[in-house]
Chain A
Amino acid sequence: MIMLFKKFLAFLKRRAVFTVLTLGFIGGIVFWGGFNTAMEATNTEQFCIGCHEMESTVYQEYRNTIHYQNRTGVRASCPDCHVPKAWGPKMVRKIQASNELFHKALGSINTPEKFEEKRMYLAKREWKRMKKTDSVECRNCHEFGSMDYTLQSRRAAPQHMTGFDEGKTCIDCHKGIAHQMPDTSSLTDEERKEFNLQ
């Protein structure tokens, strides 16, 4: 038995490159699995509202909206709207999130008052991001190519038909659908134009 083990060691010494590769391969699988598990674990509603900054503000507001509870029982959770599905953009967003952990430690928004003060800043970032991606998170579930205008309401159908022709995207018209809107009175005229607000 001992002999066999010694023989194996000698074999490994002779094949150093092979050993490194094998160990690297196994390690890679383990790491990848763990990494993906971590990614999945941080991509749930439970994780997002694990900190009270989110639980006591935006989560409470979202609970009264159609994306939380609706006729068909399909729920859009926080990551559905806030984390890109594609791997690259998802990683970028997760790395940016480390900055959010830093602000969590600083307590930048740890009271509802502080949160309300920062809400405009935070909302603007989301609006900019969604405009840049043509509201890809919304379109993951609602694609305008699949919309039947004849089934849409009197107000929705004409706005969609003209809006999409003008190159508008969902977030241009559908702000504040999951949370309360920030105070828009501080916006400059250019910003109003950029975000399609009056």
Chain B
Amino acid sequence: MKITSKKTVLSSVLIGLGLLVSSVYVAETPIPNSTAQKSDIEFNGVKSLRGETAIPDADKSASIKRLQPDIEPIARNYFQQPPMIPHRIREYKITLQYNKCMTCHSWDAYKKAKATKVSQTHFTDRDGNAQSTLAARRYFCTQCHAPQVDAEPLVENAFAPVHELEKK
């Protein structure tokens, strides 16, 4: 009895040691690095918003952008630009049943809400027919109007409004 139990202890210690050694070896073996392929990819000088990250690689996660507190209406850059949204729109839902934006921007409500009323163009359908309600193509406001965050542009942009060009 005594002898067998000694043997059991000895063999389990040996097995444990073996496992330890092999796992340390596995952990230290370098895993082939996928980012090593980066330089192999030819971008032909074209840079996407992802920069020079190879397709199989994960993008570097972007820093969190905070929505700005409400500010004054933002100056427009060109004729017929949809004005940008100068306020937070978290939880302003636009569903089939209900359009939260119109609770402040409709012609009925804008005075009380001290908001800009939607312009008349928003009541004209694509065939030029004036309608009594919002045109279907203007229903989803955030398709054209975007809220703003304080962030660097992702790509450089040489756009200048017309009067700026005239100065040159």
Residues on A lying within 8 angstroms of B by beta carbon are: 64-66, 116, 153-155, 158-159, 176-177, 180-184, 197-198
Contacts and interface: CB of A to CB of B under 8 A. Distances in A.
A183 B98 contact: yes
Contact of A158 (B69, B98, B100, B114): B114
Contacts of B114: 155, 158
12 contacts: A64-B91, A66-B90, A66-B91, A153-B69, A153-B88, A154-B69, A154-B72, A155-B87, A176-B98, A180-B97, A184-B98, A198-B103
Contacts of A182: 97-98
Interface residues of B, number: 21
B70 interface: yes
Nearest to B133: A185
Given A64-B91, A153-B87, A198-B108, A181 B100 contact: yes
A158 B93 CA distance: 23
Interface in B56-81: 69-72
Given A155-B113, A198-B102, 11 more contacts: A64-B91, A154-B70, A155-B70, A155-B114, A158-B114, A176-B98, A176-B100, A180-B93, A183-B98, A184-B97, A198-B106
A14 to B, nearest CB: 70
Contacts of B95: 180-181
Contact of B91 (A65, A154, A155): A65
